[in-house]
C-alpha cells in the first residue's frame, strides 16, 4: 500500500505540472527562444492564458487518475518485459485520458480546445508517469506484495527454468531462497548464472525448509529419491509447505497443455491451436510498415557501414548472403553486412562464431556486438522471407546436425523466422550452442504469439542490443 500511496501522491502533483509543461511548450516556447537568443522571430501567443486550463483542475485530475487506475498502472511490474509492460499501460492510460478531455472540450468548456496541448500531454505524460513508477519501483524498491519464500530441489535445466520464472515473474508471488542438491550443475542457464545458489544437501532438506521458513517447495521428481518422496509429501503437509512436483515425462510440444477431468479421470490434454488469421495479417502489415519506415530512416547509417566495410576489406563484398531455413522448412537467402574476412569458412566449413573469433575484419566485431550487421535483414522482411519477431532462422547444415539429437527442433519452422525473438532477449549468442534451450524459448513464443508480445520483444531488444552482451 505504501508504494501505491507514494505513486498516487506523485501523480496528483504531476498532472497539473503536465498541463503547465504542455501549455508552455505550445504557447511560450517562442517567448523563451527570443529571450535566450535576443531575437524577435517566431510565433508569439499573447492571447493564450494558462488560467482556463486550471479552472476545472479537480475534475481533470479525477479523469486522469481514473484512467491510470483503469489501465492498471498502479500494479507492480516485474519480469523480463516489465519495463515494456509498464510503458505500454501508461501510454494507454495517457491516450485514454487525453481522448476523454478532448471529447469534453468539444461539448463543454472544461479546458480550451487546443489539440497541441493534448498531444503534448500524451508525449510528456508517458515520460513523466513512467519515470515516477521507475523511481518508486527501482530506486525506492517498494513492492505491494509480500513474496513467499521458496526453494527448488534439483539443479537440472528444468530446475533452472523454474528459477528463471521466479526471478522474472510478473506477479512477484515468490522469493527464490535457494536450491537443494548434492552436486554442482555442469551447465547453467545464462539468465540464472549469477542467481543460482545451493543452500542444502538432499540429506538435510527437512531442516533446511524449517530454517529458511520456506512456504513453497518445487521438486524435480527425477532428482529426488523415489523411496523418500512420500515422506517429503507428508513432511510438507505437517509444516504447511505448498509442494509442487514436476514430472519430466511430459514431452516437448508446440501445443498448449492443460490438465482436465474426463469420466472422472485426470487427464493431460494437448490442445491443437491453429494460428489466428487476423493475427497473421496484422503481423505482416506491422512488419512491412515498420521495416519500410526503418529502412528509409537508416539509409544514411547503412551507407556509412557499407563504405567502412569496403574501406577496411576491399576484396570482399559489402553484403554477406547465406542460406537459412524459414517457415515450413523453406530455404531462403538471408542478408547481412559482412563482418568477417572473405571466404572465412573456406578451410573450416560451416562453423558457429566463437567468442574470440579471429576472422573479423577491422570493426566487424563492433558491428556484430551491436547487431548492426543485421540491418540488411529489413530487406528479408519486406520480401516476406522473415518477420521482425520470430524464431531465429538457422542454417540447413546446423539444423541437420541439431535434429539428430533434438528431433523436435523442426517445430520452430511452423512460424516465420525473425530478426529478433523470445530466445534472443534471453541470451543472444549464449544460446547458439544450446539448441534445446533455444527450442524451449521459441516454442513458448509460438504458443503465446501476439502482436502485443511482438512489440514488447522489439522494445526489450533495443535494451539488450544496447548493452552488447553475449553477442559474437
Three state DSSP letters for the chain: CHHHHHHHHHHHHHHHHHHHHHHHHHHHHHHHHHHHHCCCCCCCCCCCCCHHHHCCHHHHHHHHHHHHHHCCCCCCCCCCCHHHHHHHHHHHHHHHHHHHHHHHHHHCCCCCCCHHHHHHHHHHHHHHHHHHHHHHHHHCCCCCCCCEEEEEECCCHHHHHHHHHHHHCCCCCEEEEEEECCCCCCCCCHHHCCCCCEEECHHHHHHHHHHCCCCEEEEEHHHCCHHHHHHHHHHHHHCCCEEEEECCCCCCCCCEEEEEEECCEEEEEEECCCCCHHHHHHHHHHHHHHHHHHHHHCHHHHHHHHHHHHHHCCCCCCEEEEEEECHHHCEEEEEEECCECCCCCCCCCCCCCCCCCCCECCCHHHHHHCCHHHCCHHHHHHCCCCEEECCCCCCHHHHHHHHHHCHHHHHHHHCCCEEECCCHHHCHHHHCCCHHHHHHHHHHHHHHCCHHHHHHHHHHHHHHHHHCCCCC
Question: Per-residue pLDDT for 35 more than 80?
Answer: no
**Nearest Cα residue to 143 out of 166, 172, 163:** 172
- For the segment 287-299, the average pLDDT, to the nearest whole number, is 95
- For the segment 359-378, the average pLDDT, to the nearest whole number, is 90
The C-alpha cell that represents 145 in the structure block: 506484495
Which residues make beta-bridge pairs with 271? 256
Percent of residues, the chain, with pLDDT higher than 90: 38
Q: What does the pLDDT look like over 72-86, one tens digit per residue?
A: 888 877 666 677 788
Judge whether 102 and 118 are in contact, CB under 8 Å: yes
pTM of the model: 0.66
- For the segment 168-180, the average pLDDT, to the nearest whole number, is 79
**Average pLDDT, whole number, for the chain?**
83
What domains are there in the chain, each with its CATH number? 2-139 (no CATH), 148-249 (3.40.50.720), 277-467 (no CATH)
pLDDT band at 9 (very low <50, low <70, confident <90, very high): very high
d(CA 52, CA 112): 7
Confidence (pLDDT) at 40 = 56
Compute the C-alpha angle 190/191/195, nearest 5°.
Answer: 105
Give the lowest-confidence range in 20-24, 106-110, 161-165.
106-110
Phi-psi region of 362 (alpha: psi -120 to 50; beta: other; left: phi over 0): beta
Confidence (pLDDT) at 340 = 87
Q: Which residue has the higher pLDDT, 146 or 226?
A: 226
Phi-psi region of 461 (alpha: psi -120 to 50; beta: other; left: phi over 0): alpha
- For the segment 28-53, the average pLDDT, to the nearest whole number, is 58
Q: What does the pLDDT look like over 298-351, one tens digit per residue?
A: 999 999 999 999 999 998 899 989 999 999 899 999 999 998 888 777 666 677
**Nearest Cα residue to 237 out of 206, 211, 204:** 206
Confidence (pLDDT) at 193 = 83
d(CA 287, CA 415): 14
Confidence (pLDDT) at 180 = 95
d(CA 216, CA 195): 18
Query: Per residue, what are the HEC states of 405-427?
Result: HCHHHHHHHHCCCEEECCCHHHC
Q: Strands 387-389 and 418-420: what pairing?
A: parallel
- For the segment 366-380, the average pLDDT, to the nearest whole number, is 92
Confidence (pLDDT) at 253 = 55
Q: What does the pLDDT look like over 95-151, one tens digit per residue?
A: 999 888 888 777 777 777 677 888 888 999 999 999 998 888 777 766 655 678 999
Q: Which long-range contacts does 434-438 make (Cβ < 8 Å, 24+ apart)?
A: 434/187, 435/402, 435/405, 435/406, 435/409, 436/157, 436/406, 437/157, 437/189, 438/392
Confidence (pLDDT) at 333 = 96
Amino acid at each position: 500500500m505504501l508504494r501505491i500511496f507514494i505513486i498516487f501522491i506523485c501523480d496528483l502533483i504531476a498532472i497539473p505540472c503536465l498541463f503547465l509543461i504542455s501549455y508552455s511548450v505550445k504557447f511560450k516556447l517562442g517567448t523563451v527562444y527570443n529571450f535566450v537568443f535576443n531575437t524577435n522571430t517566431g510565433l508569439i501567443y499573447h492571447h493564450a492564458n494558462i488560467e482556463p486550463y486550471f479552472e476545472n483542475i479537480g475534475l481533470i485530475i479525477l479523469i486522469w487518475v481514473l484512467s491510470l487506475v483503469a489501465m492498471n498502472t498502479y500494479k507492480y511490474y516485474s519480469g523480463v518485459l516489465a519495463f515494456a509492460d509498464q510503458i505500454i499501460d501508461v501510454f494507454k492510460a495517457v491516450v485514454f485520458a487525453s481522448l476523454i478531455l478532448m471529447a469534453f472540450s468539444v461539448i463543454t468548456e472544461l479546458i480550451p480546445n487546443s489539440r497541441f496541448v493534448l498531444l503534448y500531454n500524451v508525449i510528456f505524460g508517458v515520460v513523466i508517469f513512467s519515470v515516477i513508477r521507475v523511481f518508486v519501483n527501482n530506486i525506492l524498491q517498494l513492492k505491494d506484495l509480500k513474496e513467499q519464500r521458496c526453494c527448488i530441489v534439483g539443479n537440472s535445466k528444468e530446475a533452472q527454468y523454474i528459477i528463471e520464472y521466479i526471478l522474472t515473474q510478473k506477479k512477484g508471488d515468490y522469493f527464490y531462497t535457494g536450491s537443494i542438491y548434492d552436486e554442482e550443475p555442469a551447465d547453467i542457464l545464462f539468465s540464472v548464472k549469477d542467481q543460482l545458489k545451493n543452500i542444502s544437501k538432499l540429506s538435510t532438506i527437512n531442516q533446511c525448509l524449517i530454517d529458511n521458513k520456506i512456504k513453497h517447495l518445487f521438486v524435480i521428481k527425477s532428482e529426488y529419491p523415489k523411496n523418500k518422496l512420500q515422506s517429503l509429501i507428508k513432511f510438507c503437509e505437517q509444516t504447511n509447505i505448498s509442494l509442487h512436483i514436476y514430472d519430466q515425462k511430459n514431452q516437448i510440444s508446440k501445443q498448449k497443455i492443460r490438465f482436465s477431468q474426463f469420466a472422472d479421470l485426470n487427464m493431460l490434454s494437448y490442445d491443437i491451436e491453429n494460428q489466428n488469421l487476423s493475427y497473421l495479417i496484422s503481423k505482416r502489415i506491422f512488419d512491412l510498415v515498420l521495416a519500410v519506415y526503418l529502412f528509409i530512416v537508416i539509409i544514411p547509417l547503412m551507407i556509412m557501414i557499407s563504405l567502412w566495410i569496403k574501406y577496411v576489406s576491399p576484396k570482399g563484398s559489402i553484403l554477406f548472403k547465406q542460406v537459412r531455413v524459414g517457415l515450413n522448412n523453406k530455404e531462403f537467402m538471408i542478408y547481412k553486412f559482412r563482418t568477417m574476412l572473405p571466404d572465412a569458412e573456406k578451410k573450416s566449413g560451416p562453423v558457429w562464431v566463437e567468442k574470440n573469433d579471429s576472422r573479423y575484419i577491422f570493426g566487424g566485431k563492433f558491428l556484430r556486438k551491436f547487431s548492426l550487421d543485421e540491418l540488411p535483414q529489413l530487406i528479408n522482411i519486406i520480401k516476406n522471407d522473415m518477420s521482425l519477431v520470430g524464431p531465429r532462422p538457422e542454417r540447413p547444415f546446423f539444423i541437420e546436425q541439431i535434429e539428430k539429437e533434438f528431433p523436435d527442433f523442426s517445430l520452430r519452422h511452423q512460424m516465420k523466422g525473425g530478426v529478433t525473438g523470445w530466445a534472443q532477449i534471453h541470451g543472444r549468442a549464449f544460446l547458439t550452442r544450446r539448441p534445446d534451450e533455444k527450442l524451449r524459448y521459441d516454442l513458448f513464443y509460438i504458443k503465446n504469439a501476439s502482436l502485443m508480445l511482438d512489440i514488447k520483444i522489439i522494445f526489450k531488444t533495443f535494451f539488450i542490443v544496447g548493452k552488447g552482451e553475449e553477442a559474437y
